[in-house]
Structure 1
Amino acid sequence: MKFKSIAPLGATLFLVLAAPAMAQDDAGSPDWTGPYVGGSLGYNWLPNNKANDLEQVYFDTNGDGQYGDIVQTPSGGNAFAPGFCDGKGTSATTCSSMDREGKAAWSAMAGYDMQMGSIVVGGVIEGGQSYGTNYVTGFSTTPASYTLGRRLDWEAAARLRAGFALNRTLIYATGGLAYGKFKNSFQTTNALNSFTENNKSEGDWGYTVGGGIDHKISDNFSIGVLYRYTRFNPNDYTVTVTQGSAPATNPFVNPATTSGQTVISRSNEQYTTQSVRVTAAFRF
């Protein structure tokens, strides 16, 4: 992990570790009303789900924009009869399941809360990085592997939250809009055809929901734990396969079964993450 990615994590962790030293004697029930700024640091992972387990590489061979076509061999067979895996291809015939990895996550945030009796409502905006890449690989009869990767580069969210204050502790639920910026990648062991990537970088709107606990250790400082589930549906990335040095009867470009090229995509557009983070906030 690069230093520029570590620095925000270290800053947030410092705030959390320094919190006891910043605490002040404060008797009575605190008021949660007011603005705050802070950050979060934690762990982000891509969960197991059926959509990932069943994901395949999809093909548009006739140029109609509809995916799910069969890439045919010159004899009329399925060129991808060996099948697919929800992971990263490590050779022309093997796959390592790597699409549910977990890594560090951090964000900076700013928000405002309003307390009405024991009820606290508010809003928060945040932005940061939640690392994680998922892959899908297809295997052809040649043999060769074709791997598409999708990585969430950074994300932002605007969330509402509502909770119940128990003196110095706030228990809340949260949810709202999320925006993610993705970087896509393609790898293949096929050295004959030519491959052109389209929309290597793409953005997508999604949603995030979760809940957490905040605890005031002074009038102006709180720490907490936050869980978030976030889902995006990025689907703009494709790979166009043309002839290259392959023969004219190559399954990707054969004029008898294709439009002269084949476009590769993914069957599953979902990208979901879960995260658990420690939060720290300075309250004005």
Structure 2
Amino acid sequence: MIKIISGAATVLLLTGVAAPALAQNWMPNWDARPEWSGPYIGVYGSATKANDQDDERLRFDRNLDGNFGDPVVTAAGADAFSPGSCGGSANTGAIGGGCDDDADGSEGGVRAGWDFQFGSFVVGAVAEYSGFAGAEDSVTSYSTTPASYTFERKLENLAALRARIGYAYGPALLYGTAGAASGEMSNQFYSSNTQNSFTATTDDDQADGYQAGGGVEYMLAPNFSVTGEYLYTSLEAPEFDVRVGRGVAIATNPFVLTPNTTGTDMRRSNGRFGLHAVRIGMNYRF
């Protein structure tokens, strides 16, 4: 009997005293409230995808008056670009139509920010700088020659300054973010037309716009956190115009028909560059 009572006492002691102590030592403390106020620095990487504009096309200025809405017609008066346009680069196996989709890209960058905590709410600002690989957006139009004409733009780098507001719950911070963005963009033009001449008449590389998105930051240690977020970037792409001259083409070439034999300016119809990014990163908090 004494042994039974002693065993029962031991069980009660373990369940009533030791078990809570073990739970306190080994189970996550979900009531803990990390301190989010203060500066931090971090790094991140992303998978990116440019907006697909299936209805994008090329626009033409036949009389060189700066208005891009003129038709390009043959000597017989037919539409020289009746095969149409598509989003992406020319598919050489589909002369007269068809495009290869823009490839997915990647991003890597650094950030620095400062947060202020008010109870469960956190507000702050973050500055970032990113470099890109494969963040491109193309459009192709086809002529009846047949020939293809492709405009391609690539985002090379991007700087952003955004506000951030979030709600802290245990070790997690759920947040939304939005702000200004500015980057460097390069433009290229390709054509299977070997008769006309092609000269870029504008080549500004500065693109400005905004970023918006949201994510979660999770505190793994007092000074270390990991992040996961989605960001959408919208930039006003710089105009990139190409002048088509006669080159070695015949005098009745649609680009140099009378009354304007100087040539034709062309550009893409969509003036904005949109980019989706899914990011993971880590921050060190001071």
Same fold by TM (over 0.5)? yes
Aligned to 2:91: 90
Counterpart for residue 73 of structure 2: 72
Kindly indicate whether the alpha-carbon contact (under 8 Å) linking 1:62 and 1:259 is maintained by their aligned counterparts in 2. Answer: no
Q: Which residue of 2 is the match for residue 57 of structure 1?
A: 58
In structure 2, the partner of 1:195 is: 198
1:112-136 per-position Cα deviation (integer Å, ceiling 9, x unaligned): 0010111100000001124321211
Within-5 A mapping of 1:158-169: 158-169=161-172
Per the alignment, residue 10 of structure 2 pairs with none
Residues 98, 134 of structure 1: 8 Å contact kept: no
Distance (Å, rounded) in 2 between the aligned partners of 1:227 and 1:95: 31
Asked whether the equivalents of residues 61 and 259 of structure 1 are also in contact (C-alpha less than 8 Å), the reply is no
Aligned-partner Cα distance in 2 for 1:247–1:165: 70
Alpha-carbon RMSD: 1.7
1:29 to 21, 33, 36: 33
Separation of aligned partners in 1, 2:211 and 2:117: 23
Q: CA deviation at 1:141?
A: 1.2
Moved beyond 4 Å, runs of 4+: none
Q: Deviations over 1:174-224 (max 9, x none)?
A: 000011211111111111111012344511111110001001111111111
- 2:171·2:219 contact (CA, 8 Å) conserved in 1? yes
Q: List aligned pairs for 1:135-174, cutoff 5 A.
A: 135-174=138-177
**2:246 corresponds to which residue?**
243
Unaligned runs of 5+ in 2: 1-28
> In structure 2, how many angstroms separate the alpha carbons of the residues matched to 1:40 and 1:173?
17
Deviation at 1:30, TM superposition (A): 1.7
Q: Is the 8 A contact 1:193 1:241 kept in 2?
A: yes
User: Given the two structures, how large is their TM-score scaled by the length of structure 1?
Assistant: 0.85
CA contact (8 A) 1:137 1:145 kept: yes
Contact 2:159/2:181 (CA < 8 Å) preserved in 1? yes
Partner of 1:252, secondary structure, is: helix
Unaligned stretches of 5+ residues in structure 1:
1-24
Say whether the 8 Å CA contact 2:155–2:186 is kept in structure 1: yes
Matches within 5 A, 1:102-251: 102-130=104-132, 131-200=134-203, 202-251=205-254
Q: 1:41 aligns with which of 36, 39, 45?
A: 45
Highest CA radius of gyration, 1 or 2?
A: 2
Match of 1:15 in 2: none
What residue identity is the alignment partner of 2:80? A
Give me the TM-score of the superposition, normalised by structure 2. 0.84
Cα separation, 1, equivalents of 2:41 and 2:162: 14
